Structure 1
């Protein structure tokens, strides 16, 4: 399926939420996996940016590989994003702020299309995925204190069912599963792969392969 046109992007926007979902009561939240000891703190609001980058060859989606020096999730592939700070106006502001800090994405180059439903993690993060079209006027540059490298995956690859497989990890006698994508030497799994698959199914739409 050729997804290079702005018409496709307009259709995506019709399938997104116009506002971020409010956080329900913590007791009503179900994480993607349940930690052994549960949670002893309130959920942490966070936002990630699913950036649809406009290129001459068509649209692609922006990913980062986290620095190996980070204490948590080092070396993993992630969307730009992080905690929503008290001074952030909303989830979109936080996602663009983090993208600017991590990869020098200029917020003025981004046009917010909408929001996906929240994703609650087993690490107690309440994530709002923010979807935006990005028309970059300058190259993305990895902040070495946070990001090892920046890469993009063509939207056609993300739209294809054949791009996905299942990733399994065993921890304390339990098996956890996530979606997995491999592209150009990068392995996307865990929360990032699950959000990518949700984006594929609910925003790009099923039955997209030609």
Structure 2
């Protein structure tokens, strides 16, 4: 299964993906860390700390805002993964880049797929990450699993596009990026 992903998502320049950030967008990058367990690919996700000001408790990918000292967005994704999960950049083999995503909060997120080296361990940074967990990639790639979900947020009943899997509700930008990965994987 890993070879299929390697062949499909080898890194391509952003210009070949047909996605460009808008001038007012703040650049950001995330990593979709894949690991292989018993011949199956798993995706490592995080639940943001409840103490964070923005998006507390939401499920997300490791990542964040571009820092000019990063040099490029790949470095941003790897730096943020190291800060949030303690995974060193040299333990990640970047496989590819997905189309960028514009958020309602003014960010342009560039997602990268990365394969973790066998035996890679992680430790959630307590100030940023409440927990880190894996989900089977095949389940996340099922387009029929995505839909409209209703839940309470800030005391208000709301709905959002997302996926519920193994007791985890994934919505917002994370769900949209996963849905795009599912769409691309079906091509």
What TM-score range do you get, normalising by the shorter chain? 0.7 to 0.9
Determine the structure 2 residue equivalent to 1:18. Answer: 12
Work out the CA distance in 1 between the residues paired with 2:21 and 2:28.
Answer: 14
Determine the structure 2 residue equivalent to 1:101. Answer: 83
In the alignment of these two chains, the number of paired residues is: 180
Give structure 2 stretches of 5+ with no counterpart: none
- Could you tell me the TM-score, scaled by structure 2's length? 0.86
Q: 1:9 aligns with which of 5, 15, 18?
A: 5
Determine the structure 2 residue equivalent to 1:129. Answer: 111
TM-superposed CA distance for 1:169, in Å, is 7.8
Work out the CA distance in 2 between the residues paired with 1:115 and 1:18.
Answer: 7
Contact 2:47 / 2:58 at 8 angstroms: preserved in 1? Answer: yes
- Say whether 1:55 aligns with 2:41: no
More strand by share: 2
Give structure 1 stretches of 5+ with no counterpart: 27-41
Determine the structure 2 residue equivalent to 1:179. Answer: 161
Determine the structure 2 residue equivalent to 1:38. Answer: none
Work out the CA distance in 2 between the residues paired with 1:142 and 1:112.
Answer: 21
Determine the structure 2 residue equivalent to 1:163. Answer: 145
Work out the CA distance in 1 between the residues paired with 2:113 and 2:78.
Answer: 10
- Say whether 1:194 aligns with 2:173: no
Contact 1:178 / 1:191 at 8 angstroms: preserved in 2? Answer: no
TM-superposed CA distance for 1:127, in Å, is 0.8
